[in-house]
Amino acid sequence: MSRRSQPPSPDSSPRVAKRPRLEYAPLTSEDYKHGLMLAPMVRSGALPTRLYALKHGAKLVWGPETIDKAILHTTRGVDPVTGVVSYHGKSKAIFTTHPIEKPFLIYQIGSADPELAVQAAKMVQQDVSGFDLNCGCPKPFSTHGGMGAALLTNPDLLCSILTALREAMPPEITVSAKIRLLPSQEDTLKLVERIVNTGISALTVHCRTRNMRMKEKAVIERLREIVEFVERMGKGVAVIENGDCLGYEDSKRVREVTGAHSVMIATAAEANPTCFSPTPLKDLELTFVPSYIRLGKYLGNHWSSTKFCSTQFQGQHKSASRADLKALREAIVHAKSYEDMEEHVAPWTGEKEFAEIVEAIERRGGQRAPPIALQPVAPAPTLAQIASETTKDQVALQEAPDAAPASQSIPAAVLGLDIPPAAAEAIAV
């Protein structure tokens, strides 16, 4: 049985609190830039996953969406051994965190009510650095209550929640929103303008519309115009791309196409929380899974959560034999508690795994950026730049018809061979 099946004592002081604390400057919109972020994920975004994402290079981590009312009936407790903070409901922990992740932790709220959202935020304020409003979940349990993606068609309510959070929270706590694209780009830009004007620090855009299935390719090409639009508003708000990024290497492609300040990863991180690193682990079953289970036990993460997350991990099977993989998978599937996994993951403690994570986070030296920063990317030219280059070349050709065009790099698409309608419009302006 998990150590934290009983609520820990509210007054207990954790051993970790005795470590010298690194001082972090309050989170600002700049911290949301130039990074890879772990997306909010119900079930999959558990505390051990968030800690491993940080160890392997995520800049900030989002907690799973927690509905406002769910957190309001919890009691906060601190585990005296590990320092884990749990918000306990009647039968289970509704939200669990650890002070080591606080400088990087964004708590995602599900809400359709400004007052409840503020009450929920006040409950957990001491343990997080920022709040994010979920405006993208298309699942009926969310949209029936007017939450998640339902907010996209109720911008008054959406913005009133963000405004209420911004007004209620001290300046050192950031407020952000995560939306999906609307079917029309024009409507999306109108919505984005209103959201940015509420005073948020960052906006994540999941580049799918509410009706798009996860199997459909994210339409990341639509984001560049949104990024440029937000930049023109001049409030310094970070725009984070979300959708289909596979990890560190792939984020270059995403940033080149979109010009987004940062990239947020969900599904790829669910399969491999080390994907934020330029050298992600490949033999997950042999290396990562046993460590993850040990850490889960050490942190008192409920076995059902650790079990679920472990079954999502998928490495590239570099050296594990089929028989070993099968044996491990079957053991996880059949295990009813951590003890049932002993044969595969002993020796137990998990203390070493936790110490390594703490060390990796402390190596950031009070900065939020991981030691290996993202490579700068050469952004694709903006539509305005393309239009201006085209005009310059035309002038050059007219003035010196024999000379080569000033720019050799105009894509064929822009020279009229295959111009997407949005680009054609921009060039025409």
Ligand X SMILES: Cc1cc2nc3c(=O)[nH]c(=O)nc-3n(C[C@H](O)[C@H](O)[C@H](O)COP(=O)(O)O)c2cc1C
Q: What residues line the site for ligand X (CB under 6 A)?
A: 39-44, 64-65, 108, 134, 136-137, 178, 206, 242-245, 265-268, 270
Instruction: Report the residue number, 8 or 273, with the smaller CB distance to ligand X.
Output: 273
Enumerate the β-bridge partners of residue 240. Answer: 204, 262
CA 243 to chain centre: 11
Instruction: Report the residue number, 168 or 179, with the smaller CB distance to ligand X.
Output: 179
By three-state DSSP, how is residue 200 classified?
Answer: coil
Q: Of the listed 137, 245, 275, 309, which one is catalytic? A: 137
Least distance to ligand X, CB of residue 128, Å:
15
* 245 catalytic residue (yes or no): no
Query: Cα separation of 193 and 198, whole Å?
Result: 9
Instruction: Report the residue number, 41 or 320, with the smaller CB distance to ligand X.
Output: 41
Least distance to ligand X, CB of residue 80, Å:
30
The size of the chain, in residues, is 429
By three-state DSSP, how is residue 359 classified?
Answer: helix
Least distance to ligand X, CB of residue 270, Å:
6
**Alpha carbon separation from 264 to 78, 113, 174, 270, 397 (Å, rounded):** 30, 26, 17, 12, 44
Contacts of 315 (CB under 8 A, 6+ apart): 272, 281, 282, 283, 284, 285, 286, 288
Instruction: Report the residue number, 82 or 174, with the smaller CB distance to ligand X.
Output: 174
Least distance to ligand X, CB of residue 166, Å:
19
Least distance to ligand X, CB of residue 328, Å:
22
Query: Cα separation of 95 and 1, whole Å?
Result: 18
Least distance to ligand X, CB of residue 278, Å:
18
Query: Cα separation of 231 and 72, whole Å?
Result: 37
DSSP string, 384-426: HHHHHHHHHHHHHHHH-TTSPPS-S---TIIIIIS--HHHHHH
Instruction: Report the residue number, 51 or 137, with the smaller CB distance to ligand X.
Output: 137
Between the two ends of the chain, the Cα-to-Cα distance in Å is: 66
| Active centre residues (catalytic) | 137
